[in-house]
Amino acid sequence: MEMRRILNSLNVIALNHVSKPAGDCMPDNVRVGFAKIGNIASAPLIEFLLDERADREDLEVRIISSGAKMSPEHAVEVASKLLELKPAFTVTTSPNASLPGPAKLRELIANGGVPLIVVSDAPTRKIVKDLEDAGFGYIIVLADSMLGARREFLDPVEMSLFNTDLIKVLAVTGVLNILQTELDKVIDSIKKGEKPVLPKIVVDKDAAVAAAGFENPYAKAKAIAAYEIARRVADLTTEGCFILKEWEKYTQVVAAAHEMMLTAAKLAEEAREMEKAGDTVFRSPHHRDGTTLKKHKLIEKPQKLI
């Protein structure tokens, strides 16, 4: 009798595991699609901001990327594959969303009837009205500056170091907090059966550091400095990549821009260390049900964010 009871229990467990087709969303799950063409520093970790411990039960993500390429032809392929996955809403990431490739991507996803949020860099500001008129959301990160893409200077290692430094700046100064919070708001609305209000945000230094939750004013000052240095890196990389013609000059200028980003990363690290020294680091982990929690002290349990 005991063996029969065990076998019956195992059968129930097996049925529970196969009761829904593989790949289908649970009824209370939200599937978020990420369409990535080209790269900005906000893009590599964006989907992980929503499920940092891989234990959320209310969320699925799907990512289609064309890598570094961002032509209209690549956009067509990315959009078609992503729409097949039936996301509840889509986040597109790319440099300069006014370019033909990102524009084509938005057009195709919009034609598929899927709400869309654009995450991009400073040059996208010039099409903000167009994005709003089309009903798109946007998060434009002014400090997400272009790297020094000159062959005489940029190799895979230099590209990796630049993005590592910039990601640290975006993380510490509060940019990634904004991405997490705004995307979670949309997810929460969809879970409630509401029409989501898509974000319309240009992330400057004030918006960034407000989201970072600094308590030490000197740490906040360092974070502002880090953000502003990172933002101004684009002045040099634009000059080096598109204006200067003599290779010796543009090589020097783009190298200087990368040194600026390294300095910004060091300032961001110093800001974080100051908050750690005062035991005031702001943390906003997710609960298993998708609720956002918060804490400041290392040795305390996170509480529900009000």
* pLDDT of the residue at 189: 97
Tokens of 288: 């298993």
**Residues 127, 222 within the same domain:** no
Yes or no: say if 49 and 183 are a contact pair by the CB < 8 Å rule.
yes
User: Of 164, 186, 212, which residue is a domain's last?
Assistant: 212
Output the pLDDT for position 306.
Answer: 66
Task: Give the span between the Cα atoms of 282 and 302, in whole angstroms.
Answer: 10
- pLDDT recorded at residue 2: 43
Pairing mode, if any, of strands 293-294 and 303-304? antiparallel
Q: Look at residue 10 and tell me if it is in a domain.
A: no
Considering the domain architecture, whether residues 100 and 248 belong to the same structural domain is answered as: no
Q: By residue range, what is the domain housing residue 234? A: 146-174+213-282
Instruction: Supply the pLDDT for residue 5.
Output: 43
Residue showing tokens 């400057």: 204
What are the residues whose beta carbons fall under 8 Å from the beta carbon of 21, sequence distance 6 or more?
none
In a domain, 59, yes or no: yes
Half-sphere exposure of 16 (CA within 13 A, CB side): 6
Domain identity same for 66 and 166: no
Looking at residue 35, which CATH number applies to its domain? 3.40.50.10830
Cα gap 23→59, rounded to integer Å: 13
Over the chain (306 residues), the average pLDDT of each successive run of 10 is: 41 34 54 98 98 97 98 98 98 98 98 98 98 98 98 98 98 98 98 96 98 98 98 98 98 98 98 98 97 97 87
- Count the alpha carbons within 13 Å of 79 in the hemisphere toward its beta carbon: 23
3-state secondary structure of 224: helix
- Verify that 202 and 114 share a domain, yes or no: yes
Rounded alpha-carbon distances, angstroms, from residue 162 to 145, 230, 260: 10, 11, 10
Assess whether 164 and 74 both reside in one domain: no
Q: What gap in Å lies between CA 250 and CA 272, rounded to an integer?
A: 33
Which residues does 25 contact at the CB level (< 8 Å), separation at least 6? 31, 60
* Residues 162, 147 contacting (CB under 8 angstroms): yes
Given this model, what pLDDT does residue 26 score?
43
107 and 93: one domain? yes
Q: Are residues 156 and 258 in the same domain?
A: yes
